[in-house]
Structure 1
Amino acid sequence: MRLAHLWDQSKCIGCGACIAACNAANYKSTDKPNPTWGGLQTNIKRIMFDLKEKPYLLLVQCQHCENAPCVAVCPTGASYIDKDGLVKINPSLCIGCKYCMTACPYGMRWLEPVLGLPEKCMGEECQTRIKNGLQPVCVTVCPAGARAFGDLDDPKSEINKRLKSGRVIKLLEYKGTKPKFFVVVGR
């Protein structure tokens, strides 16, 4: 099994429901800031580009790379890839060295301010949901259907259907990380 995320930029309405849901589910609706990215404590980063003619929105989260630099540099094994292909952090093994934060070419790890340990997608609530056969909260709450999550090894999965029906890119693919976060940029 190789679980992956898809975000359809061509369907996204920029409402931020996924960001708010991640904050509510994984960080108990805290209004404390994410000191690394600014804004709410969430695992989804909103990036806006001002392209003069038209603004461009990019919602990014952990790429769950098959060749994850964050895992390769972790001196304690706290960062690892689980049996489903998701990149995770075991907080009981993490020493807070921040090597994983530095190694991630996507900048998708952030520092939780109280414990001083890195955070990332998937949060605890989303991990529990997946274990129980449910979708991550960001997928569930999206009113535009711009998100999908599923098994790349299952040809009948929703994510595979959507990968075949649109123009898809992977971010920074040239870095050799083999990301499993897909962005649909058109039909």
Structure 2
Amino acid sequence: MTVMAERTSGMTVEEFEEVARGAAAASDAVRFEFIDGRTREKKVPDGDHNEIVEWLRAICMQHKPGWALFGSDQGLKVEKYRNGRARPDGILAPRKSFAGQGEWGDPAPAVMVVEVTSYDSDTDQRDRVEKPPAYATAGIPVYLLIDRDSCEVIVFTKPDGELGNYTDTHRVAFGQKITIPEPVSIELDTEELKEYVR
């Protein structure tokens, strides 16, 4: 499969969706996102990455019965006017929130999106720079970033659509506890995350 380079040349959302569908059919090794007018690769996660998502899923299901932590197969329409397309590692929302919506769902039911950094060259740009404003402008109340490079958990809250970012950020080192505020209202003991870093 040919690797798609980052593009800023006026690709429409419809063109992106067609390319992403074709790429998904051709290979399971990479998925694509369309953030801030650019096409980005999102590589298939490693085992430690998956363990982190499953760790968080178990905690969320314990505290939020009737909810789901949807995986990266569910995409979201993000950014102003929903012209972006993102595949978070997790989306916390009530069960059946995306029934009948297809590959790219409305972000309205999501109370939290989750990204776990990958060990690739564009994780900094993608997860730390582009994703916070994309999720904030979509009105998603909480963005949880589990950063394996800095060994930190970062909770972004209070999205400001006009500012185009989250106005409140809290971070702790792996091993400490952090509370994800309402509407999530879950405390995380991040000690186990130490096992999943290189």
TM > 0.5 fold call: no
Higher relative contact order (CA 8 A, sep 6+): 1
Please give the TM-score of this superposition, normalised by the length of structure 1: 0.29
Whose helix fraction is larger, Structure 1's or Structure 2's? 2
Whose strand fraction is larger, Structure 1's or Structure 2's? 2
Please give the TM-score of this superposition, normalised by the length of structure 2: 0.28
